[in-house]
Structure 1
Amino acid sequence: MTPNAVNGIDPDRFRDPTTAWLGLDGEWRVIVGSSTDERRGLVLLYKSRDFFNWTQSTKPLHYEDLTGMWECPDFFPVSTTGSDGVETSSFGQDEVKYVLKVSLIETLHDYYTIGSYDREKDVYVPDLGFVQDETAPRLDYGKYYASKTFYDDDKKRRILWGWVNESSPAKDDIKKGWAGLQSFPRKIWLDESGKELLQWPIEEIETLRGTQVNWHNKILEAGSTLQVHGVTAAQADVEVLFKVNEIEKADVIDPSWTDPQKICSQEESSVKSGIGPFGLKVLASKDMEEYTSVYFRIFKSNDTNKNTKYLVLMCSNQNRSSLNDENDKSAFGAFVAIDPSHQTISLRTLIDHSIVESYGGGGRKCITSRVYPKLAIGENANLFAFNKGTQSVDVLSLSAWSLKSAHVNDESISPFIEREDSHSPKQS
């Protein structure tokens, strides 16, 4: 502990306050990420009546042993009856659960739990099955960290932003002159089951859509690859709806395959399985020297009973994303909680030059990849749908749009200064 510690907390273990909320007693509350020398991760609770003078509570809002430093905590209510957001200071208790999200510095991932908040005791308790550690569900299973939400009162929704960190080496970042950026903003809400959060790009993203291409009722034969023509593949929005046939021909999953990222690290071109890999190859060069694949594989459990259970694995594989071998080419993966024997499988992927953000199963799982191709850039980028499994897969629909660049205020010009040639700030 440093000599300048305050209330037992080292200054370098005190960071990233949340949005404040108002308590029943009229006092404001805010939590701050921290940790102890014993690697106990915790969120410190502070209270204030005037929003200027803050007093630390005797107990943290929540903690978990052996989890290390908790960064960028986020704490907010979610509705149990729909997808509308809930204002942070809402007093409603009957139809509200709470989410505590923390960024674990030891893994550089964002994890969340769903639970209950006692407003009188100022204690948060995760629901049964949730633990605030690296076993908790993640907001995103790729390059995504330090996220925060805010409540949009105008459209009654909660919006999530995250930091997309780098896959390139530091020397390349220095040459670029920048490193890291914000993700596409996402609406976030509680699933009907009350056990997971759903995410979807905010509707405003659709205003950037340009030229559209549509497929309907195409069959992806075993081993086939079909190019999607007519869109700017380096900057696109793609939505696909798959239907799997002959589901019983799915491979039996090895009981030892509990790590989805490890399964996804197998290059899909070398996998010989019954159903999948099937999905998209994005930011692909014409000759397939470079591409990033986003796809699904389906397995079945080795159940001796007749009630066979199926598992849907979602992957984002970067093994061949760039000819630059110095880039991080990790594969990412997560199991998606849908039943492919009764449900279709949806995939939405947003592509923006070096960013590939994918939403599987209606936003049940999200994976963000950061890739830097050397060949598949600009007009030389291509988009494909593929199926490497031994069974065909139906593409019930595929819609792809070219994406226009967002209008961003020029930071060199103050938005409060009226320009002579316009009544609005300069945009580029």
Structure 2
Amino acid sequence: MKTIVVCVVYFCCVLLSNGKEVHETSHIVSLYRDRSQKNQPGRPYFHFRPLKNWLNDPNGPMYYKGVYHLFYQYNPYGAIFNTTIVWGHSVSHDLVNWIHLKNAIVPTKSFDINSCWSGSTTILPGNKPVVLYTGVNTKNQQVQNLAMPKNLSDPFLKEWKKYSGNPIMTPPDGVKPDNFRDPSTAWKGKDGIWRVVVGGLRSNLGVAILYKSKDFVHWSLHDEPLYFGKNTDIWECPDFYPVSVKSRDGVDNSVIRINLKYVLKASFKSKSHDYYTIGSYDAENEKFLPDSKGLTGSSLDLRYDYGKFYASKTFFDSVKNRRILWGWINESDSSADDIKKEWAGIQVK
């Protein structure tokens, strides 16, 4: 157990920095820290954040054609959370210097008109990235949607299009329409079928709701969740991925081999912290089997970080063969303070 925990921590060591916002993507240049606002008390100059306004969950981090991508929950209209949240988008060649692009996914359709909430990217065969994200529809119900790049030849992936058949997943029986969100990165089994988990609350149990698909478009609900826990409230931003027990190298989500353990992480809304457990994946029965007690909602549950750290998301960096962890830190300032300083939230490792 101790060795595996050390490996997880090792995978998550990355340096970050802040860049300057770019509004016109046709005039992108390499940007560094924004020195013009250095007189703002408390403003970070090292950790990632956009130039201004509210930021929360990291979404869909990935590496594509020489470029690191980070999407994030963003309020383009102010420094506090509101009902219109979009996917902000920034890119980097080194995870230190960042270029801020125009927002990638914004509310435009009936299935996401009231916000585009958290989700993940998955790299399909042929190096084709796709996004699964939660949309808040016209009835304020949470549904899962699919989006893909308009131009795969653009390494910055500046434009995205939404699947015409959205939503591709709706709240299942026993899950209220406001307790169904944040699809994980998908993984493919030996049978060639994709799996993904969505966070939820069912019968007062936090659950990683499991879906399966042959084509990444048509998804069916599995009979049982991948895993569930008591005393946790809703599970937000679930993450599920393999780690090696023989080396410090990262492992791609769809790798299947011996000498692997699996990490299941969930963000407990009621506790505002990220918890994880390590165990095995029974692919035949579609079950996660924790090595110890798992995610119980007790003080014995393991946390990624024991400070303010929430809604984290990992991805596999295929270039350096490592797994990288992003997490959101929200300051303890009041809403009035955030409005005055014109920003809130940072992304850290």
State TM-score, norm by structure 2: 0.50
Structure number with greater Rg is 1
State TM-score, norm by structure 1: 0.41
